[in-house]
Structure 1
């Protein structure tokens, strides 16, 4: 029985331990900053929870790399539609938080179905492209892929969760681009999205506070005590950190509670204020190493499914990092996108470790192992 829980030695040699080590370092660095943002009110509570999520995440990652990822490909349709059902349950019974029905309550905790639907979407697109032998420019194939991409995105828009919708859009864009979709189609796609936003802008789907959040970054000073407060406080904190930062637990914006969601969406503001440019650069270097190693695995995959699976996950990391850090420094609209592996949150941490487990699985089985 225990033998089934062990990884074969030949496969273990193919495991990229660098990915695991860097991911753990990022989570631990995040936990330290979460503690800094929450210790005045909650002590070690959120710090301990984040460590628990790390341990659970590592356990799930280990379980994923135990079996060949081709098994996941075989169950791609089931995984996808299960995630869609999960989203439907959320859209009808979910808890409204910050104006969006994005969470299902489980006792004192909550789970965010869209985080898991994101993975389900990546898996089904990779499976379909494998079945299509990568022929994305066939009109029938392209429409099939669009259908599988649009279903979860539509259900996420209904919540409405604009941040996760943006993440899913750029995941699909990354997959379609790497799969070789004609550039003219991509350009038309951007045009269609722009038109859709223009239409939705004046409908009940796009609520007033969402419009404000998406545009307030352009001129936060226009409402310093309202919609612009979070960004202005973030900019003050990051700017005051200078080169070396004010020091751990010494951030005035953070410890004073002036930055809403500092332990979650705005965790980068904590890094900037307390660790300065050096700390921010350290974090970005870690992300760079992680993404570089994930790209290397995508390059050596033995099949289309594995490559596209990796591309979808790499796209998730890249856009989420860009969007989250961008919104804390005022160059991107403010949305509820977490900073990968840094922000507090069980659903976020677990889905990122699931994602990393899938990529590691592809890398471990990039060639046939002879026993």
Structure 2
């Protein structure tokens, strides 16, 4: 029994420890900033909760590493189906839980969760499995239609919530997989054009809520909406700018401690980093993400099969977009979407899904070559 719960030494030698160490450093740094952002109003509540999620996430990594990822591949349909099932539950009013205008949460027995975070993993695993079965032949009308169908079903349910931020995360995961699979570039351009047309139609319909439209409109004219839709971004920019090169110091951020930046412990955690740790702290954090993505790309290139490569590509795409979008919105370069900063922002669903994604990359890297016993 104990042998089944132990990872062999030969496999451990293949484990990418730089990714693990860097991720833990980000989690610790994130926890410090979450405490700084929330201690004035909530004491240790969010810090304790985040540390619990981190511990659960690390345990989750260990148990997922025990399973050969080829076994996970065999259960791709179930993983994907479970994600879709959670999204369907979200369509039932009895389970819906609304946060900041979006009904993107479900609540069962007092426990709330964001289904789209787990559906995102399901999309990546399912597309990777299908591409493996297709032997990588994506440039076929039948194959691309099948792949796109699997991607569109959960994404349509996410749009309905509405959660445009997570929709974009899923879109870039699919785009990354399609691109690396060698999909004809003309098809990719055609797809982007199609999404643009659909986006224009959605903009002129009720699919996109008024407050979501105003987030985009206010981005191009922040002064006009400084007291309303641009308030959060304006305060965030003041905080980050006032941090200077070295920052004001831990627990010394006036914008953060004064409560001027809403959601500073979740979506706007980068504002805390900018004000209290300055430009140096921001660059160090970005460097940590670069290390994780560089090592992940290395694992994707060395994977022994198509499934492993595509899972890594999908996860790298989601992380790259999430980091870019989250930081971009806090400095006023991109519209507010509610996308969290991986391993930094407070949140159980986002933290657990990030750890699941990381464990899949580590699993693929650990088994990238045949181990002879």
Same fold (TM over 0.5): yes
> CA RMSD of the aligned region, Å?
0.9
- 1:201-220 alignment to 2 at 5 Å? 201-220=203-222
In the TM superposition, what is the alpha-carbon distance from 1:224 to its structure 2 partner? 1.3
In the TM superposition, what is the alpha-carbon distance from 1:107 to its structure 2 partner? 4.5
SS of alignment partner, residue 232 of structure 1? helix
The yes-or-no answer on 1:293 pairing with 2:295 is yes
Aligned to 1:5: 5
- 1:8-157 alignment to 2 at 5 Å? 8-92=8-92, 93-157=95-159
Aligned to 1:274: 276
SS of alignment partner, residue 175 of structure 1? helix
CA contact (8 A) 1:91 1:102 kept: no
SS of alignment partner, residue 37 of structure 1? helix
**How many residues get paired?**
371
The unaligned stretches of length 5 or more in structure 2 are none
Q: TM-score, normalised by structure 1?
A: 0.99
- For 2:215 and 2:262, the matched residues in 1 are separated by 14
Aligned to 1:244: 246
Runs of 4+ off more than 6 Å: none
- 1:297-336 alignment to 2 at 5 Å? 297-336=299-338
Change (3 A) 1:25 1:178: same
SS of alignment partner, residue 201 of structure 2? helix
Pairing partner for 1:361 from 354, 360, 363 = 363
SS of alignment partner, residue 110 of structure 1? strand
- For 1:189 and 1:72, the matched residues in 2 are separated by 30
- For 1:310 and 1:55, the matched residues in 2 are separated by 23
- For 1:239 and 1:120, the matched residues in 2 are separated by 39
The unaligned stretches of length 5 or more in structure 1 are none
SS of alignment partner, residue 96 of structure 1? strand
Aligned to 2:349: 347
Pairing partner for 1:189 from 166, 191, 204 = 191
In the TM superposition, what is the alpha-carbon distance from 1:106 to its structure 2 partner? 3.8
Change (3 A) 1:39 1:98: same
- For 2:66 and 2:86, the matched residues in 1 are separated by 26
In the TM superposition, what is the alpha-carbon distance from 1:2 to its structure 2 partner? 1.4
CA contact (8 A) 1:218 1:330 kept: no
Deviates more, 1:258-267 or 1:217-226: 217-226
In the TM superposition, what is the alpha-carbon distance from 1:244 to its structure 2 partner? 0.4
Q: TM-score, normalised by structure 2?
A: 0.98
SS of alignment partner, residue 136 of structure 2? coil
- For 2:187 and 2:230, the matched residues in 1 are separated by 37
Per-residue CA distance 1:182-233 (angstroms, 9 max, x = gap) = 1111111111111001101121211111111233222221111110100000
